[in-house]
């Protein structure tokens, strides 16, 4: 298979075939109910629909109004789009009279159009308004947050969500600059960070970790993931699949620990008189950890950090 490079503002879905293959959309499962928790620009959704049977249902979620507009162009009676976070999936299913689903896919990355569009404020590579919201119809922009937050909170966010060792220096520099002028553009913020960070890994812009940290905080990405993992586990039926693609260590660590907590159960002392049927049983079976191929990374460098973890729900307690 030939993989071509990705033009600007065009999104290439990471681990496209691998993720959809993981859902096992064959046989009776082809007519099941599935969730695509992050529609993005619809790459996974369209491939899932192409493999589903006529009685199947696919419910997708996204917070981005532009993603919703793209999703609404899909004319397929099996498909439903929800303008909200995947963390609300339990309520969305209940509203539609759905109990359990057969598979859930979460692609936690932001899409290339979001990154490449300077007006969204996600990237420091092109100057634009410092927004960073996934959902531009609600919530506080990055510029509004930077204008009022304390140096202590700024430091904590940049350190914890960006894993930035110069968090204190960056936070102080932000507070000092906002006393002189509003920090309203991506280029302003990138310049402030560059002035505060004295050393950086080769090939990485000094602003990378700070921009990541602020984006994660503004969009409550880790809070959504924590809630989403719990709801996904509750919503998937025994035998169903959970497939989650993450793009940085904070996300992947959360997914790994959650899966492990359901797959690895403490075993009592074997000398105790306990029947095998009464022993604690695992509730998830770990199936795979998959990374993009060298060919995919070469064609789409943004895929480099992606990791997909796949697990099957067993018959344990809900």
Binding site residue list for S-adenosyl-L-methionine = 42-44, 62, 86, 107, 114
CA 313 to each of CA 232, 263, 282, 308: distance values in angstroms, whole numbers, following the listed order = 10, 9, 9, 16
Residue partners of 235: CB distance under 8 A and separation at least 6: 35, 89, 90, 93, 100, 101, 104
Stretch (H or E) spanning 112: helix 112-116
CA 94 to each of CA 71, 87, 91, 98, 238: distance values in angstroms, whole numbers, following the listed order = 21, 13, 5, 6, 18
Half-sphere exposure of 215 (CA within 13 A, CB side): 22
CA 18 to each of CA 105, 186, 190, 258, 308: distance values in angstroms, whole numbers, following the listed order = 11, 35, 36, 21, 9
The sign of the torsion formed by the CA atoms of 199, 203, 205, 209 equals negative
Residue partners of 49: CB distance under 8 A and separation at least 6: 58, 74, 76, 78, 79
Token reading at 98: 């759905």
Residues at the binding site are 42-44, 62, 86, 107, 114
Calpha distance 141→72 (Å, rounded) = 26
Residue partners of 79: CB distance under 8 A and separation at least 6: 45, 49, 57, 58, 59, 60, 71
């Amino acid at each position: 298979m030939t993989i071509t490079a990705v033009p600007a503002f065009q999104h290439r879905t990471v681990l496209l075939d691998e993720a959809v293959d993981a859902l096992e959309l064959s046989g009776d499962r082809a007519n099941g109910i599935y969730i695509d928790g992050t529609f993005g620009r619809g790459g996974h959704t369209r491939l899932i629909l192409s493999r589903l049977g006529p009685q199947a249902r696919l419910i997708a979620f996204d917070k981005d109004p532009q993603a919703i507009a793209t999703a609404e162009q899909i004319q397929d009676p099996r498909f439903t789009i929800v303008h909200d976070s995947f963390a609300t999936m339990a309520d969305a299913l209940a509203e539609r009279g759905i109990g359990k689903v057969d598979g859930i896919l979460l692609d936690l990355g932001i899409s290339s159009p979001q990154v490449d569009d300077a007006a969204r404020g996600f990237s420091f590579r092109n100057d634009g308004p410092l927004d960073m919201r996934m959902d531009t119809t609600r919530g506080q922009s990055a510029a509004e947050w930077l204008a009022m937050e304390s140096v202590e909170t700024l430091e904590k966010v940049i350190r914890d969500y960006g894993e930035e060792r110069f968090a204190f220096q960056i936070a102080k520099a932000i507070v000092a600059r906002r006393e002189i002028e509003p920090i309203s553009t991506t280029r302003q913020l990138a310049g402030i960070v560059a002035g505060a960070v004295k050393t950086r890994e080769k090939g990485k812009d000094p602003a990378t970790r700070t921009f990541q940290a602020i984006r994660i905080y503004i969009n409550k990405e880790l809070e959504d993931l924590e809630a989403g993992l719990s709801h996904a586990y509750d919503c998937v039926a025994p035998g169903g699949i959970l497939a989650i693609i993450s793009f940085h260590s904070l996300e992947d660590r959360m997914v790994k620990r959650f899966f492990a907590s359901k797959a690895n159960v403490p075993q009592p002392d074997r000398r105790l008189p306990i029947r095998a049927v009464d022993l604690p049983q695992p509730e998830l079976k770990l199936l795979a950890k998959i990374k993009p191929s060298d060919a995919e990374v070469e064609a789409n460098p943004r895929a480099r950090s992606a990791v997909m973890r796949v697990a099957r729900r067993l018959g344990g307690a809900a």
